[in-house]
Amino acid sequence: MDKPSPPHVGKLSSPDVRKLSPPHVINIADLRRLAQRRLPKLVFDYLDGGAEAEVTLRENCLAFEDVTFRPRQAVVVRELNLRTKILAEELAFPGLLAPIGYSRMIHPEGELAAARAAGEFGTTFILSTISGHKLEKVKAVSSGPLWYQLYLVGGQAAAEAAIARIKAAGYTGLVITVDTAVAGMRERDPRNGMKQLLGGSLLTKLPYVSQVLSHPGWLFAHWRDGGMPKLENIVVPGKGPMPLIDVSAALADSAVEWKDFAWIRKAWTGPLIVKGVLTGDDARRSIDEGASAVVVSNHGGRQLDGVSATMRALPEVVAAVGKQAEVLMDGGIRRGADLVKALCLGARGVLIGRAYGYGLGAAGYPGVVRAMTILREDVERTMRLLGCSSIDQLDSSFVNVPGAWGNPRQEFTKHPAL
């Protein structure tokens, strides 16, 4: 049976599609500018912004500048292999699409567009609990592997129901995010009225209406889509899908503790991925709790401001994990060269978030495809210029790393919860 296509996917007019091609769009920054023009300010800033002074948000990107390449010259790469294996799944590209909450608010196609694009590029899409399309529908449009990022919004019963649904639908990985004890102070959101847009009364929305009215294309698309969607994958027993709420409210009662892994592992016996690890200690604790992989992540600089850039934290986590689990990295990817540098420092794969989010905000599915095309072409060009023919051959010999990065701690303190 043919898989149904997402609504409106690929139906941009020819002029709109041309706007996604050179010379209009040649890098991710160009897609960011398009998204900024199309989206109301409060929606764009939700996607673009970080916590507090946004120090970590900036450092996630700047850290890549501290790592320089050591190419093998006079080497012509005639056949290039970008394939890799992550948690026993063969991928054609080592860039996984990260979970982005409220994707359907960014564009009505939301998670459907991202999942379909990921499948077409032969990689994994990770669906957020805070999503507007049903997980079964997301599975139906994707030809690639799918993981589910579980937040405990709605309590244990709602989480267990979601786990049962992803098992039945054929999702192959469960991602537990551990860096959301509370929501970070994303200062752009309260200034712009994000809470009022998602959960306020008509009266409290009025001061922010002009932001929406000034972007009629976005407004019409969401009107045609039925308005603000419910959180279709958080089904509270006896109450149905949870209404759309702001991120602070969503995370207020859903913090994960290490003790929760006991019941999570009973409900889910497949690969478990722990996201939000920044130290060797937490990486090893994750493995003790049954993790098959850890994601070095600071939530894209959206939680605790002032923590390490993920690229800088990566060597310590890789050293701590060894061969006990796979290590992925998330944060700051804007070019294919960034992705290659992370692989050189030991990441098995890299999560891509804002880079495809800008494409989604700019044009829906075609925008996500354009973002992924840019990154894949960047990776291919970088690999050829490095003189490296296969992802599997990348290692630290291809990069120069600042001295402080090259000496990750080999001994790790006992975790305070142990």
Q: Among all residues, which ones are annotated catalytic?
A: 299
Distance of CA 136 to the CA centre of its chain: 19
CA distance 151 to 228: 20
Which of 122, 127, 140, 126 shows the shortest CA–CA distance to 85? 122
Element (H, E) at 90: strand 89-91
**How does strand 231-236 pair with strand 240-242?**
antiparallel
Helix then strand then coil, % of the chain, to nearest 5: 45, 15, 40
Residue 9, helix vs strand vs coil: coil
**Full DSSP string of 128-152:** ESS-SS-HHHHHHH-SS-EEEEE--
8 strand-pairing partners: none
Which of 414, 332, 363, 383 shows the shortest CA–CA distance to 93? 383
Cβ–Cβ under 8 Å, residues 294 and 313: no
